[in-house]
């Protein structure tokens, strides 16, 4: 059982997006602690984000990685890019993701890039506006990725054939 968990742990790679020092003002002065935001993914369509708080940086990172592994989601994409354009929203942050041709690479800022890389998408264009807070940007990116659906999935959801979905079926 422990061996299976070790194998599961090894297949995920982590990326620390942001580490922040925060202060709590108490009677005797300031108490400092740390927040860490991490993204965990297997580059095959699974990704999770986590947030951890602790008095030391390594503990905060460890907690956030554990949190991210508990919150894994499966993303629908095929090949090297996403199937269609999508806009993700979280609070005041907006992120737009657009498919691109092979070889374009990931055209994205740091927070969006972290999530998209960990999912396994190789070619995508993005733009974020509104909030520049990395936590909100990461959550908006995850929202956008969760909205993705392949043509087969879209046709099945609507109860029509693929030909009808693409307008090739008359009737």
* CATH number of the domain that residue 59 is part of: 3.30.160.20
Instruction: Show Cβ contacts of residue 131 under 8 Å, excluding neighbours closer than 6 positions.
Output: 91, 92, 93, 137
* pLDDT in the model for residue 79: 85
Whether 164 is covered by a domain: the verdict is no
93 and 62, same structural domain?
A: no
Residue 125 counted as domain residue = yes
Please report the DSSP string for 130-166 in residue order.
E---HHHHHHHHHHHHHT---HHHHHHHHT--HHHHT
Strands 86-90 and 124-130: unpaired
Phi, psi of 131 (to 5 degrees): -65, 145
pTM, full prediction:
0.86
**In the chain, how many domains are there?**
2
Considering the domain architecture, whether residues 47 and 85 belong to the same structural domain is answered as no
pLDDT of 86 reads: 95
Count of CA atoms in the C-beta half-sphere (13 A) of 12:
23
Predicted local distance difference test score (pLDDT) of residue 1: 46
The pLDDT, as a whole number, for residue 10 is 60
User: Does residue 135 form part of some domain?
Assistant: yes
Eight-state DSSP code of residue 90: E
Closest to 64 measured CA to CA, from 74, 75, 54, 76:
54
In terms of domains, do 108 and 69 share one?
no
By residue range, what is the domain housing residue 146?
A: 75-155
Check residue 164 and give its pLDDT. Answer: 84
21 shares its domain with 39? yes
Shared domain for 29 and 12, answered yes or no, is yes
Stretches in the chain below the pLDDT threshold 70: 1-10, 169-171
């Amino acid at each position: 059982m422990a061996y299976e968990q070790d194998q599961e742990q090894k297949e995920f790679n982590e990326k620390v997006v942001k580490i922040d020092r925060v202060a709590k003002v108490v009677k005797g002065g300031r108490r400092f602690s740390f927040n860490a935001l991490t993204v965990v993914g297997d580059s095959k369509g699974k990704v999770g984000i986590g947030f951890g708080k602790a008095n030391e940086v390594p503990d905060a990172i460890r907690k956030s990685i554990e949190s991210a592994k508990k919150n894994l989601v499966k993303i629908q994409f095929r090949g090297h890019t996403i199937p269609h354009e999508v806009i993700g929203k979280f609070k005041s942050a907006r992120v737009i993701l657009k498919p691109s041709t092979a070889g374009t690479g990931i055209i994205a800022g740091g927070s969006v890039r972290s999530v998209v890389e960990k999912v396994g998408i190789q070619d995508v264009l993005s733009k974020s506006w509104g909030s520049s807070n990395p936590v909100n940007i990461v959550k908006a990116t995850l929202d956008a990725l969760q909205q993705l659906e392949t043509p087969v999935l879209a046709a099945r959801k609507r109860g029509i054939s693929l030909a009808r979905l693409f307008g090739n079926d008359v009737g």
